[in-house]
């Protein structure tokens, strides 16, 4: 078996995905496997590229064979000794899961467990928490991307609490006033407790109470837009049209950072940090897990008590949530290389982008661990140095074994030949 293996991902048709051929997930799935027909009436939300049992990748030339079966056949060859010893596996599991997301509607207000909570949740409720892993994750914007990411700084929440009557009434005068009086002199620990008291009141209010105040607040965004400012007023109205009278209008719109990423920008979410993606196409990479603790903007199972009790309640300005790209010295030639290297071991993501010209070439020296590559734009060729090259079109996905030197060449003048490579290297 070659060290450069064409594979096929698995699509997830969650309700928030873009519909039919508007979705990059559908476009990539069909381009990589023309036998996949695109149903224009269906949402195509996520393209999974990994070994998670819920939606494992298969071989392009033998769809009955799982990528994990190949890895299990010779783990040290396909994972490398260091990765195998840190992430031992008996069934060919990769430490990371790589995805394309194409987002039409807001995803659930959610957080992911750390390792100890993941293990507890999986034992207690395996149907909602399918594995025992943590799920730190990173989003890299392919298009303009909008998301909620982490709690707003406390003074920003206080300003909204004091000036939006429905927010103040939902939280209740006692908690709102204590928050207002104490945050300026509170220690970090006390600040977290104060934030949890406000978030907890919002999240545990009855749906009827939430709906009552949500209707009034949405009306107020039209009658008194100056109270919210144009961006927040629009956001509340837009998300209310997606999830009418939902608690996410309070716990998301009024309490979480509303951030925008340009193509090529990225953000990293530690475990137990609240977030929700709102719109756009992204590459997403995470530790191999599907443990999602949800509490708003979703028809799925909501685990409010777990979410309220597990969050870290840290607050950071949006800029601090961004994952800045770094240079990647092992990439040489005519392409630009951007490395997104978050503070965890399971994964990093490399963007490789050529100019929109033919006849360009680049090399990537060996990465000492497994990786998965997807072409997202343009076309070209990809090869293990010295071996026969393979055509590379948008949606084509490859597993790359450790310590393999890759050669790339661009054959598209229309749009820039662009690839993303998720890898684990210790
Ligand atoms: N932040 N993004 C993620 O964690 C993705 O990997 C998850 O798969 C999605 O959040 C799942 O979204 P729903 O629960 O269906 O709303
Ligand atoms: Zn998430």
- Ligand nearest the Cα atom of residue 111: 2
How far apart CA 294 and CA 335 sit, in angstroms, is 40
pLDDT grade for 375, boundaries at 50, 70 and 90: very high
Q: Which pLDDT tens digit goes with each residue over 265-290?
A: 999 999 999 999 999 999 999 999 99
Q: What tokens appear for 16 in the block? A: 């928030």
Could you report the predicted ipTM of this complex, rounded to two decimals?
A: 0.98
Task: Establish whether residue 289 lines the binding site of ligand 1, counting it when its CB lies within 6 angstroms of any ligand atom.
Answer: no
Atom of ligand 1 nearest to the CA of 269: 1
Q: Looking at residue 243, what is its pLDDT?
A: 98
- Ligand nearest the Cα atom of residue 108: 1
3-state helix, strand and coil shares in percent for the chain, rounded to the nearest 5: 30, 30, 40
Q: Looking at residue 346, what is its pLDDT?
A: 98
**What is the SS3 assignment for 73?**
helix
Q: Which pLDDT tens digit goes with each residue over 181-220?
A: 999 999 999 999 999 999 999 999 999 999 999 999 999 9
Of 188, 192, 294, 330, catalytic: 294
Residue 294 among the catalytic residues: yes
Task: Establish whether residue 137 lines the binding site of ligand 1, counting it when its CB lies within 6 angstroms of any ligand atom.
Answer: yes
Task: Establish whether residue 292 lines the binding site of ligand 1, counting it when its CB lies within 6 angstroms of any ligand atom.
Answer: yes
Which residue lies with its CA nearest to atom 14 of ligand 1? 108
Q: Looking at residue 179, what is its pLDDT?
A: 98
Q: Which pLDDT tens digit goes with each residue over 389-406?
A: 999 999 999 999 999 999
Q: What tokens appear for 421 in the block? A: 């490579």
Asked if residue 134 has pLDDT above 90, the reply is yes
- Ligand nearest the Cα atom of residue 278: 1
Q: Looking at residue 84, what is its pLDDT?
A: 98
pLDDT grade for 146, boundaries at 50, 70 and 90: very high
Task: Give, to the nearest 10 degrees, the angle between helix 173-182 and helix 154-163.
Answer: 140
CA quadruple 385, 387, 393, 394: dihedral sign:
negative
Distance from residue 108's CA to the centre of ligand 1 (Å): 7
Q: Which pLDDT tens digit goes with each residue over 70-97?
A: 999 999 999 999 999 999 999 999 999 9
Of the candidates 85, 139, 76, 77, the residue with the CA atom closest to the CA atom of residue 107? 139
Question: If phi over 0 gives left and psi between -120 and 50 gives alpha, with beta otherwise, what is residue 321?
Answer: alpha
Q: Looking at residue 155, what is its pLDDT?
A: 96
Task: Establish whether residue 131 lines the binding site of ligand 1, counting it when its CB lies within 6 angstroms of any ligand atom.
Answer: no
């Amino acid at each position: 078996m070659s060290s450069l293996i064409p594979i096929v991902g698995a699509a997830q048709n969650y309700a928030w995905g873009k519909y039919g051929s508007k979705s990059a997930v559908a476009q990539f799935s069909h381009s990589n496997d023309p036998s996949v027909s695109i149903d224009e009436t269906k949402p195509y939300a996520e393209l999974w590229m990994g070994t998670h049992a819920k939606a494992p990748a298969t071989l392009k030339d033998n769809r009955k064979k799982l990528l994990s079966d190949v890895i299990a056949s010779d783990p040290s060859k396909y994972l490398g000794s260091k990765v195998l010893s840190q992430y031992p596996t008996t069934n060919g599991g990769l430490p990371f899961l790589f995805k394309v997301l194409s987002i039409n509607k807001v995803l659930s207000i959610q957080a992911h467990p750390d390792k100890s909570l993941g293990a507890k949740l999986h034992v207690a409720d395996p149907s909602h928490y399918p594995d025992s892993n943590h799920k730190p994750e990173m989003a890299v914007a392919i298009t303009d991307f909008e998301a909620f990411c982490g709690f707003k700084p406390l003074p920003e929440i206080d300003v909204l609490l004091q000036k939006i009557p429905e927010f103040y009434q939902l939280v209740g005068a006692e908690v709102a006033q204590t928050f207002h009086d104490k945050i300026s002199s509170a220690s970090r620990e006390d600040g977290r407790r104060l934030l949890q008291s406000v978030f907890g009141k919002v999240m545990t209010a009855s749906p009827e109470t939430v709906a009552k105040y949500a209707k009034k607040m949405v009306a107020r965004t039209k009658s008194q837009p100056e109270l919210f400012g144009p961006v927040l007023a629009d956001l509340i109205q837009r998300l209310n049209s997606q999830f009418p009278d939902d608690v996410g209008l309070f716990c998301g719109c009024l309490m979480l950072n509303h951030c925008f990423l340009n193509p090529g920008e990225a953000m990293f979410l530690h475990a137990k940090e609240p977030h929700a993606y709102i719109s756009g196409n992204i590459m997403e990479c995470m530790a191999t897990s599907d443990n999602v603790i949800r509490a708003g903007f979703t028809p799925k199972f909501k685990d409010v008590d777990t979410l309220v009790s597990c969050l870290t309640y840290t607050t950071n300005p949006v800029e601090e949530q961004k994952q800045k790209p770094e240079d990647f010295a092992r990439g040489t030639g005519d392409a630009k290389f951007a490395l997104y290297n978050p503070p965890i071991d399971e994964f990093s993501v490399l963007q490789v982008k050529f100019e929109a010209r033919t006849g360009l070439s680049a090399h990537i020296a060996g990465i000492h661990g497994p990786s998965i590559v997807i072409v997202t734009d343009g076309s070209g060729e990809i090869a293990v140095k010295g071996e026969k090259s393979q055509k590379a079109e948008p949606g084509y996905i490859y597993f790359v074994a450790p310590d393999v030197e890759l050669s790339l060449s661009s054959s598209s003048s229309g749009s820039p030949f662009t690839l993303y490579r998720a890898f684990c290297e210790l």
